[in-house]
């Protein structure tokens, strides 16, 4: 079961890594929102699910470890709800304050 | 009826969070859940109407497909971010398109699904017009194919 945890956490870290690289490389504010807003959501989700599985099996399905796992899953659910909403809010604030989106044609 | 349902849900949540099943903690839970139900019991279930159960079942069936799409799209964005030829592959654009969804809840579900799938962010909803920012051409085409919209419409029986 540790292997499953390792797979989850490592793939989560991969998405975090890709999101950070994307944050540095994408051309403008809006494109960077794509990298951080969503790469982070999936990354955090995978890491947290991996930890929940680890707690569940390490605790040997005792009541206490099951409760801890449920709490960890709740963290994942709330990240899942809050992150897109926050991304949308920041994005809309950018549009409203008149940041011009980068386009391919504009770059040439 | 709504208040009782709210109270039961709050109390289950309390017990899971407390993790101790003795009389003291249960009594504390009952007191605080009663206070919360009294103060804001009308928030959780706004109005009861028919077909709610069917919507919940269909929504749960929709989640695995959504997660699959999120993973696919995340891999796409990760590939873009790590690719050395990034500036040729991406094509950021704002797209404006009409949807056929009617109720607020289905529009919100659709908008949040769009934002969750990487490469697309919902910027604004005006009436039934969505303003979406797409990172590259493939994700924009994916969105405009309308598959996700149909699935959301199916959840709320609007197709």
Q: Which residues contact B118 (CB under 8 A, 6 or more apart)?
A: A34, A37, A38, A39, A42, B70, B73, B74, B76, B77, B135, B139
B123 to A18: CB separation less than 8 angstroms, yes or no? no
SS3 B94: strand
A101 to B94: CB separation less than 8 angstroms, yes or no? yes
Residue A108 pLDDT > 60:
no
- For residue A76, what pLDDT is reported? 86
Residue B144 pLDDT > 50:
yes
Q: What would the mean pLDDT of B9-22 be, rounded to a whole number?
A: 84
| A69 CA: distance to closest CA in chain B (Å) | 11
Q: What is the residue range of A80's domain?
A: 2-107
- For residue A89, what pLDDT is reported? 84
Point out the least confidently predicted range of A41-55, B42-56, B74-88.
Answer: B42-56
Q: Which residues contact B158 (CB under 8 A, 6 or more apart)?
A: B100, B101, B102, B103, B106
**pLDDT band, residue A105 (cuts 50/70/90):** low
C-alpha dihedral (B80, B85, B87, B92), degrees to nearest 10: -30
Q: What would the mean pLDDT of B58-85 be, rounded to a whole number?
A: 81
Considering only residues A91 and B41, tell me which one the structure prediction assigns the higher pLDDT.
Answer: A91
The interface residues of chain B toward chain A in range 61-80, judged by CB-CB distance below 8 A, are 70-71, 73-74, 77-78, 80
DSSP secondary-structure letter at A5?
A: H
B74 to A42: CB separation less than 8 angstroms, yes or no? yes
Percentage above 70 pLDDT, chain B: 92
How confident is the prediction for chain B on average, in pLDDT? 79
Residue A106 pLDDT > 70:
no
**In terms of Cα–Cα distance, which of A91, A80, A39, A90 is closest to B113?**
A80
Q: What are the sequence ranges of the domains in chain B? A: 2-40, 54-155
The interface residues of chain B toward chain A in range 82-111, judged by CB-CB distance below 8 A, are 82, 86-87, 90-94, 111
Tokens coding A58: 């390490």
Residue of A nearest to B15 (CA): A67
- How far apart, in whole angstroms, are the C-alpha atoms of residue A40 and residue A21? 12
A103 to B74: CB separation less than 8 angstroms, yes or no? no
Q: Which residues contact A84 (CB under 8 A, 6 or more apart)?
A: A37, A38, A41, B112, B115, B116
Predicted confidence (pLDDT) per residue in B78-133, tens digit: 887 787 776 677 777 777 777 777 777 778 888 878 877 767 777 777 777 788 88
- For residue A104, what pLDDT is reported? 67
Based on the structure, what is the number of domains in chain A? 1
Predicted confidence (pLDDT) per residue in A46-101, tens digit: 899 898 888 888 877 777 888 888 888 888 888 888 888 888 888 888 888 877 77
- For residue B48, what pLDDT is reported? 57
Nearest to B116 among A35, A41, A101 (CB): A41
Threshold 0.90, pTM exceeds:
no
Burial call A2-21: b when 16+ CB within 10 Å, e when fewer: eeebeebbebbebbbebbbb
């Amino acid at each position: 079961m540790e292997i499953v945890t390792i797979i989850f956490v490592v793939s989560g870290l991969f998405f975090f890594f890709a999101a950070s690289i994307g944050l540095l490389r994408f051309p403008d504010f809006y494109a960077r929102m794509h990298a951080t807003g969503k790469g982070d959501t999936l990354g955090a989700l995978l890491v947290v699910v991996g930890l929940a599985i680890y707690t569940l099996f390490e605790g040997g399905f005792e009541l206490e470890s099951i409760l801890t796992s449920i709490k960890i899953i709740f963290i994942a659910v709330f990240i899942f709800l809050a992150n897109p909403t926050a991304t949308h809010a920041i994005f809309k604030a950018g549009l409203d304050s008149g940041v011009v989106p980068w386009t391919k044609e504009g770059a040439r | 009826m709504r208040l009782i349902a709210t109270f039961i849900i709050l109390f289950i949540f309390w017990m899971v969070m407390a993790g101790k099943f003795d009389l003291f903690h249960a009594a504390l839970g009952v007191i605080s859940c009663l206070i919360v139900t009294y103060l804001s019991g009308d928030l959780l279930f706004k109005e009861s109407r028919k077909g709610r159960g069917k919507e919940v079942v269909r929504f749960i069936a929709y989640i695995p497909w959504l997660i699959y799409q999120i993973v696919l799209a995340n891999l796409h964005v990760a590939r873009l971010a790590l690719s050395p030829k990034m500036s040729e592959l991406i094509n950021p654009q704002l797209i404006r398109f009409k949807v056929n969804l009617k109720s607020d809840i289905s529009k919100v579900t659709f908008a949040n699904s769009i934002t969750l799938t990487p490469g697309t962010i919902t910027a604004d909803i005006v009436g039934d017009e969505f303003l979406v920012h797409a990172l590259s051409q493939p994700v924009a085409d994916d969105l405009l194919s309308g598959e996700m919209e149909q699935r959301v419409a199916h959840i709320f029986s609007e197709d």
